[in-house]
Structures are given as structure tokens and as C-alpha cells.
Structure 1
Amino acid sequence: MADVEECREALEQLSRNMSQSTGNVRKAASLDRSLSCRITDLDLTFTGRLRDGRIQDVVTTPGPPAEKADIRLTMSSDDLVAMVDGRLNFAAAWAGGRVRLEAGFRDLLRLRTLL
């Protein structure tokens, strides 16, 4: 099981990856939306803002998110780290129920480029 710092670093790496993207991926990452990432095995939630192609203002809180974010992810700590490291394909993890993604229909259409 990955720890809190490993999860935080994975989110920071994801943010760096998105900021360096180009084309359709860059366009999809340029949303301005609230974001939550619930880590089930650590019983904590990272919340922040997806803005200008980066995840900004990340805060860690215990338990489930206090408010409903525009884009909501739920997964285990190991799955988060594995996805960012490229060892786990997001689409396969999502289809297999290991990762849960909730967002509005328009956001899902734009986010599919990132998957």
C-alpha cells in the first residue's frame, strides 16, 4: 500500500505530465474544474482545482470529500501510483472497476482524451 506522500507525489507528477502535454490532451487538461481524488485504503481525499493544465491548490483531508467536486476520482493508493507510473492503464482500471470516475457529461467527453 502506498503512503500519503507517495500519493501526493503521484498527483504532482500527474500535474506535471498534464502541463507538458500538447494537442488534444493539452486541450482536455485545460479545464477549470474542482477535483477530488478519494483514496479508499488510506481513508483520505485529495481535493484541488484542475486549472491551466495543472492540478492546483491540493489539500488532503481525512475521510470522504466534504463537498462534491466537478470531477471525482476514487481508487486505491497503489492504483493511483501505478497509473501515474504507467504500469496501470486508466481505461482498463476504470472498465474493471478498480477506478471510479464521476463527472458531468461534457467533462467526461473532454476527459476521454486523457484516458
Structure 2
Amino acid sequence: MLFVAGVIPNQIWRMLGLWFGGGIDEGSELLVWVRAVATAILAGVIAQIVVQPPGALASVPDVLRYGAVVAGFIVFMLTRRSIFAGVVTGELFMLAGKWWLG
């Protein structure tokens, strides 16, 4: 039942996306705009989490949260704007800092 209700409807949209998006140039203005919007949304979510942390994250000191953002941004810039590397670095920085502080 889970396969029918969850996987099959999702796969239809994936296949349509591959079919329609197969001919789009990766350097086109549309994809540059899509990447910019996705990056802006991620930055907004991170900013909201840092300024008004939910749940257990509220127990993390402000300095540690802001330090994780700075570390993630530095790695983001050093790795030719790799969002993945920046986010992972920020997470590792925060986990290490929380472990260090106890």
C-alpha cells in the first residue's frame, strides 16, 4: 500500500521533470534564477533558525550558532560556492562546539 500511495505518484513527477528538463541548458538564465531562489530560501531558513532557534537548538549559545554560520560561509566561499560543503561545515562546527561546551 505504501508503494502504491507514496512511490508511484512521486515517480511520475520525477519522470516528467526529467523529460521536460532534459533539453534545458545548465547555464540558461532560467536555471541560474532557480539556483539563486533556492539559495535565497536556504539562507532565509538558516537566518531564522539562527536568530530564533526552535526546540533544543535554543539551548546552544548564540556565539556558537553565529560561529557555525561564519564557518559555513567561509567554507562555502572556499569551495567555489558549494552549498553542501557550507551546510555540513556549519553543522559539524555546531556539534563540535556543543560537545566541547558540554
Could you state the TM-score of these two structures normalised by the residue count of structure 1?
A: 0.32
**Larger proportion of helix:** 2
Structure number with higher relative contact order (C-alpha < 8 Å, ≥ 6 residues apart): 1
Q: Which has the larger radius of gyration?
A: 2
Could you state the TM-score of these two structures normalised by the residue count of structure 2?
A: 0.34
**Larger proportion of strand:** 1
